[in-house]
Amino acid sequence: MLCTSLLVGERWPVASKVLADYIRQSGVKIVCYDYEFSTVTGPHSCYCDRCLAAFREEAGFSAEEPLTPRVIENAHRTAWDTFMVRRGARLLGLMRKTVNEAGATFTVFSLPQSPRTVSVYGVDWREVVREQGADVIQIGTSGTWQQMLQSSEAAGSTPIMYGVWIIPYSPKHMIPAAVATRAELLRRVLDSTYGIIFYDRATMDGRSWWNVGETTRLVADFEDLFLHSRPEPVQGQDPEQVQWVRGKEKQLLCLMNPGNAPAYYTIPLPSGVANGYKYYTRASVSGSTLEITVPPHDTAVYVFDRQ
């Protein structure tokens, strides 16, 4: 372990050379930093005189203010969290520059934007983006959809991948395997701008793989829409469950039911849509209003020409 003040300061050239040499010698093309470190006990949480002096200056504490790990945790945790996520982001920015110069892509994995992610995992995506600390952001999905939206807002133009959490992921956990549902998969596809990730693939069963296939063939058939359009709300509907994806020629109405019971939707169709059909059954759509029932954890997708 190296003092963080030295790591992001005068000793970075040493660490940078070691990292760059390894990348070039191994030929790796992607470097992923799984950054999930408490601001208090993580590997970059240093309490030497050098780091405490830097914290004192940034937080505006007087020279007489006692600063120890226990005092910081009990009395100054918010200020310390801010200090540490900025330091972590600065380190990620240095790492990205080195990784890119060595010919690889630098991705950073952590949890969705939230106060808990700042304190427990040491990441504030706004700071990471400000320091240009990632070519691609990867988000593990143990949070809410609102936190996903906050993560996307923090990411800005930085590509972002959202994940599907498959449990159990340890042989010690003798519980039934979770299923990657079509509702969750389509939601993640709509929110991501660089694909989606799974943890852990080893426990995915046939049901999950079937749902992956059903989702990815939709994406493949309308690749241009998913690449160049962002989801839009549908008036009067929960945007987490119902969204439009509009292109120049085609548009998709996507419904996702994350609940454990059937969900019922009544959706008036806007002007400018024609030749509608249900994607998964190819059944045609008639009338000006859709009455839709979506089974638990499932999706319904309607395809329309745009006039």
Whether 118 and 81 have beta carbons less than 8 Å apart is answered as yes
Confidence of residue 230 (pLDDT cuts 50, 70, 90): very high
Measured distance CA(194)–CA(86) in Å, rounded:
25
Worst-scoring range by mean pLDDT, 68-72, 165-169, 234-238, 286-290?
165-169
Give the tens place of pLDDT for each residue, 185-224: 999 999 999 999 998 888 888 999 999 999 999 999 999 9
Spatial distance between the Cα atoms of 86 and 133, rounded to a whole number of angstroms: 11
The mean predicted confidence, pLDDT, of the chain is 94
- The pLDDT value recorded for residue 1 is 65
Query: pLDDT grade, residue 103 (50/70/90)?
Result: very high
Domains annotated for the chain, with CATH where assigned, are 1-133 (no CATH), 232-306 (2.60.40.1180)
- What pLDDT, in 10s, does the model give residues 122-153? 999 999 999 999 999 999 876 789 999 999 99
What's residue 169's pLDDT? 78
Is 0.95 topped by the overall pTM?
A: no
Distances (CA, A) of 2 to 9, 45, 95, 106, 197: 11, 10, 15, 21, 32
Strands 289-294 and 263-268, sheet pairing: antiparallel
